[in-house]
Amino acid sequence: MVSLGLLQIFEFLWLGSGGVFCIVWAIQYSLQNNKKEGYLLAFILISTGLWLLSGAFFFTSLYKIFPYITLFHIPFVLLSAPLLYLYLQFTLLEKQIRIRYYHFILAILSIVMLLPFYTSSEDTMVWILDVSTKSEYAYTVKFLNFGTKFSILVSVGLFIIRHWIPNVQMVTLIQKNAIYTFIFIILIWIDLLIGSFGYYLQMEFFRKLSALLLPILMYYYFFTRNFWSPFVYDIKDNIQKSKYEKSKLGGLDLEQIEKNLSLLMAEKIYCDEDLSLSRLASLVNVQPGQLSEYFHKIFGFGFYQFINRHRIEEAKTLLLESKFRSVLAIADSVGFNSKSTFNRVFLELVGKTPTEFRESQKQNHHSTNLKTSQS
C-alpha cells in the first residue's frame, strides 16, 4: 500500500490537473480548428497532457499501484518532436505540413523497446521503474525518458538555429507583446535543459522540478496566446525579408500582379479564413516567395497585414450597413476565425474596437442629422 504525504498529494493534483487541462484544451482546439494544423497542435497538446499525467503517478510513487501508466506517454512525445518542427514551419514559414514515414521512426522504436516492460508482471514493472534498479533494461527505460525531453529540445533548437537566429532581429523579441513569447521560449528551454540534465545524471530533484514547471508553462501559453499574433507576423516578416537579398521579382510583370491582386480583392477572396500565401500566389500565377517579396517591396508589410487591412475595411462597411448584425458574425464573415483576433487587429488599424467604431459612427450620424434639422 502506498501512502502519500500532503506534498505528494499536491504534486499529484498539480501535475494531474495540468495533464487534464492540456487534453481538454486539445479537444476544444481541434473542434474549433478542424484542419491539419489544428489536429497537429491538438496532438502535441495531448502528448503534453499524457506526459504530465504519467509524471503525476511516477513522482508520487503511485506508479507502484499503476505501473503501466508511467511510460505510456513516451511514443506520443517522441512523435510530437518532429510534428512540433512541422508545426513551427507551418506557423512561421507557411510551409505546407507534410507528414512522412520517417517522422514515426522514434515513436515506433520506443514502442518496440517498451514491449518487454508491458509484457512483464506488475511487480517486474515496479522493479524496473525503481530509481535504484541498475539492470540493463532499467537503463533502457531511463534512456527513453531522457529521450523524450531531448527530442523536443532538439526539435525546437533545430528550428531556432536554422530559421530564427539567422533571420530574426533581437529587437523583434523584446518589443511590444513579443516579450510574452520571448519569456515563454526562454522558460521552455530552461525547463527542457533541467529535465534533460536530471535524467542524464539521474538526479530526481531536477527531473521533478522540470515536471512541476511544465503546467506553469502550459497555463502561461494558454492565457497569453492571444498576444502572440503580432509577434508571429514580425517573425514571418523578418524571415522573409532576409531572403530578399537576391530579388525574386526579376522578369515578372509587376503591373499584372497588381491587376490580378485587385481583381481577387474585388471578389473579396480575403473573406476566406483558410486563405494562405501559397493559395493566393497560385491564383496570382507567381511563387509564394515572389508574392511575399512583392508585398514587402510595394507595401512595406507582409501577406497577413495586406489581407487583414482588406478584411478590416470590409468589416467597417458591414458594421455601418448591418446595424443589427453582431460583431462576432461580422468577424466571421470577413475571414477572422476568432473574435479576440478581430478585435485586436481592428483596434491596431482603426484605433477603436469594432463596437466603439460602430457607436462613434452612430453618434456622428445623429449629430449630422441634428445640425441639418436645426438649419
Tell how far CA 30 is from the center of its chain: 12
What is the predicted pLDDT for the residue at 251?
A: 72
Question: pLDDT tens digits for 155-166?
Answer: 988 887 887 666
Rounded to an integer, the average pLDDT of 127-151 is 85
What is the predicted pLDDT for the residue at 273?
A: 87
pLDDT at 238 over 50: yes
Banded pLDDT at 370 (limits 50, 70, 90): very low
Query: Among the listed ranges 9-23, 71-85, 336-350, which one has the minimum average pLDDT value?
Result: 336-350
Rounded to an integer, the average pLDDT of 324-345 is 88
Residue 148 burial (C-beta neighbours within 10 Å; 0-12, 13-18, 19+): buried
Q: Which pTM value belongs to this model? A: 0.66
Residue in the block written with cell 522540470: 210
Rounded to an integer, the average pLDDT of 48-73 is 90
One-letter amino acid for residue 305 of the chain: Q
What is the predicted pLDDT for the residue at 186?
A: 76
pLDDT at 295 over 90: no
Question: pLDDT tens digits for 69-79?
Answer: 999 999 999 99
Residue in the block written with cell 509577434: 231
pLDDT at 272 over 50: yes
pLDDT at 247 over 70: no
Rounded to an integer, the average pLDDT of 291-317 is 87
